[in-house]
Amino acid sequence: MTKSIESFYTLNSRHCSLVVDCRGNAPAILYWGPLLAGASSPAMLALLATRQELQACRPQDAPIALSPQAAAGFMGSPGVQVHRNGQQWAVFTQICSVSPTDDELVIVSRCQGSDIELTHYLGLHKATDVLTATTTITNRGTSTLWVDRCDAPCIPVPMHYTKILGFTGRWANEFQLQTLDRFAGAYVRENRSGRTSHDTFPGVIVHAEHTNEQTGAAYGLHLGWSGNHHVRIEEQHSGQAYAQLGELFYPGELSLEPGQMYCSPMLFGASTAHGLSALSASFHGYVRSCLTDQRVASKARPVHFNTWEAVYFDLSFDRLCELADSAAEVGAERFVLDDGWFKNRKSDSAGLGDWFVDDTVFPQGLGPLIDYVQAKHMEFGLWVEPEMVNPDSDLYRAHPDWVLNADPAPLILSRHQLVLDLTRVEVQHYLFERLDALLTDYAIGYLKWDMNRALYQPGNQDGRAVGHDQTVALYHLLQRLRAVHPKVEIESCSSGGGRADFGILAFTDRIWTSDSNDALDRLSIQKGFSMFFPSEVMGAHVGPSRCHATGRVLSMDLRAGVALFGHMGIEANLLDMDAEEKQALKAAVVLHKKHRQLIHNGKLIRLDSQLGGSSFGVMAADGNEALFSYAQLDSLSNSVGGRLRFDGLDKHSLYEVSIVWPLEPSSYSKSILNVINGSIISGDALVTVGLQLPIMLPASLLIFHLCRVT
């Protein structure tokens, strides 16, 4: 006997409710927001949502279904687009079954006209309130089904969410926030780079007019996919709006034979009534509890030393050993040998693909260097870029047909590189064999996995577009390596933050946030990154005094003070540092280690900064301590600084307030800096009144430690 389908289904987490309306032919989200009281029934919500018939329109608008359907009269962007040689394109499904559990709904629908089956999976994570949602399409017909589009489930946007907070950027300036008013029409961001991209991060936040970091309602949406994608927020003529995120396909890229299926990338969502910092807290909690591998979660994230900006391609065993000495001296716990260690690699124009140790630099292999590093009580890591190949390489000369292309168009070189076709079995075999050999032969505990160019011509030797398959093949290679070398940690680097998403985090442990170590730029980069990602996966390095990306000269106090709030590292020539600068760096590493547990497990509280400043805090789960950072970016607009209000503190508690960075905060006249250390102040005063900031020069930073007094 078939179980009857109910009208409504509800999922509840700690603070949120999700109500799905199954009264019609296609399922739709009726409500997603704060936890509903027991007296509030879905039928009441449906009654309150009753709309009038619009003039000169059909009696009822087509619903914003989980997969909006053109054949149902939906005039916006369809959630699924298919055809069979131009026919059977009109998708109109009917619900066949609903399988509810305590925290998940599985809804199966069929379309007789196109012979497809849609399965929507909706989950609501109890502890973090994060929504997870996918759409699976199955070919139930007897011929090839061409799939032009299959988005993750569509999310209706409340009418009072009139603001869109999107992401833009470029190389060395990723995760830049872009605010605009919602408008009649569609806000669309599309990415065809073959990776997450530097400029079109697959995430968006929609929120109410006056939402800020601490108050107000918002949805946050992120597509966990490391390839081509689109983000769409559309407001229809009726005023209704919806959000669609999904994979972006090239023509003819996805087809399904009878019985085959495709599952969309997972959509991750969070809903809050308590501001953007609370929204981020949900995502951070989900990453920590569901995406972070236990082998990493159970250890402190080691402070890195990376050789790149210290030596570039000018490698020698003796110089690397000197750097290892200095790295250990300042407190580094992991030594990462970056580019230039392998055969034929004297510049970025040659050698990629030849993953054999360069015996002109390391005549005895990497073993002696690794032994030296480990004798200094540091782990050893290695940079690789497996997906790419230089035309000037033994690999390309032997296998010129192994690269992605768009014949007959000429191959596009970018950064002297071409892209290997990971969908070819022989390419997968070669890359796995080479990486496996390195990880087997040497005590390498960490791989910095880079990808330094976009996929401009994602075609295989058969002339088919394979952007989707390339991403899946990357996941497969990473998964295979992790299965054989489970203790090896992997960093997702893509010329900086070009591959940062929840999809890649299922196979990696750290994200290199940006190739820019400019501390001033890093404040905005890391702020945008923090909207979805927690600090412990955010690679943040202390660069040289003159930033190699911007040419700007910044103090060690600022550089170290910004880097210590992420997964801290050092990427500068320690051999060129004077004693004073090196001593300050060593002190910053000590400070990071002292508070590492708090930084990497605490709740991020971004503050709505005053003009010219950047401020945020990290609060321990029990509320007993916190670190707050304030950076003065520009010259003061007034002769006196503003006030720093320590949001998130318990107003009924007392706190000891200390300045912990820089080591010797200075001011040209008597100020709060002279009297604040060790003071006991109520949380109420610190939150409501705030601390008078000193007069600071541009590019200055202060870090406060607050400890609850019991």
Each residue's pLDDT tens digit, 245-278 = 999 999 999 999 999 999 999 999 999 999 999 9
Distance CA(472)–CA(277), nearest Å, equals 33
Q: CA triplet 488, 494, 495: central angle to 5 degrees?
A: 125
Largest CA-CA distance found in the chain, in angstroms, rounded = 83
Total residues belonging to the chain: 710
The 10s digit of each residue's pLDDT in 476-508 is 999 999 999 999 999 999 999 999 999 999 999
Q: Write down the pLDDT at residue 61.
A: 78
Q: Do 697 and 632 form a contact (C-beta atoms < 8 A)?
A: yes
Q: How far is CA 33 from CA 16, 146, 219, 395, in A?
A: 5, 36, 9, 54
CA distance 167 to 176: 5
Q: Is the pLDDT of residue 464 over 70?
A: yes
- The band of 212, judged by pLDDT with boundaries at 50, 70 and 90, is very high
The one-letter amino acid at 201: F
User: For residues 438 and 356, is the Cβ–Cβ distance under 8 A?
Assistant: no
Residue 411 zone, left/alpha/beta (φ > 0; ψ -120 to 50; rest): beta
Nearest-angstrom CA–CA distance, 425 and 405: 17
Nearest of 574, 583, 584 to residue 661 by alpha carbon: 584
pLDDT in tens, 113-143: 999 999 999 999 999 999 999 999 999 999 9
The average pLDDT across 329-354 equals 97
Task: Measure the CA–CA gap between 246 and 266, rounded to whole angstroms.
Answer: 9
Give catalytic residues, as residue numbers.
Answer: 450, 515
- Tell me if residue 336 falls in helix, strand or coil: strand
pLDDT class for 168, splitting at 50, 70, 90?
Answer: very high
pTM assigned to the model: 0.97
Dihedral angle sign, alpha carbons of residues 229, 508, 558, 315? negative
pLDDT for position 3: 65
pLDDT exceeds 50 at position 670: yes
How many other CB atoms sit within 10 Å of the CB of residue 77? 19
Averaged pLDDT for residues 550-559: 97
Computed over every residue of the chain, the mean pLDDT equals 96
Given a cut of 80, whether residue 89 has pLDDT beyond it is yes
Q: What pLDDT does 286 receive? A: 98
55: helix, strand or coil? coil
Q: Are 50 and 162 in contact (CB under 8 A)?
A: no
More confident residue, 679 or 59: 679
The predicted structure's pLDDT at residue 565: 98
8 Å CB contact between 77 and 186 = yes
Q: How many CA atoms lie within 13 A of 562 on its CB side?
A: 28
Position 54 pLDDT exceeds 90: no
Query: Could you give all domains of the chain from N- to C-terminal order, each with its CATH number?
Result: 8-291 (2.70.98.60), 302-386+424-457+467-597 (3.20.20.70), 607-709 (2.60.40.1180)
Q: Residue 600 — φ and ψ, nearest 5°?
A: -95, 0
Closest CA to 10 of 48, 44, 42: 42
- Phi (first) and psi of residue 329, to 5 degrees: -65, -40
Percent of residues, the chain, with pLDDT higher than 90: 92
Report the half-sphere exposure of 620 (CA within 13 A, side-chain side). Answer: 14
Q: Residues 362-419: pLDDT tens digits?
A: 999 999 999 999 999 999 999 999 999 999 999 999 999 999 999 999 999 999 999 9
pLDDT at res. 446: 98
What does the pLDDT read at residue 1? 35
pLDDT at 652 over 70: yes
**pLDDT at 4 (0 to 100):** 85
Report the DSSP beta bridge partners of residue 553: 546
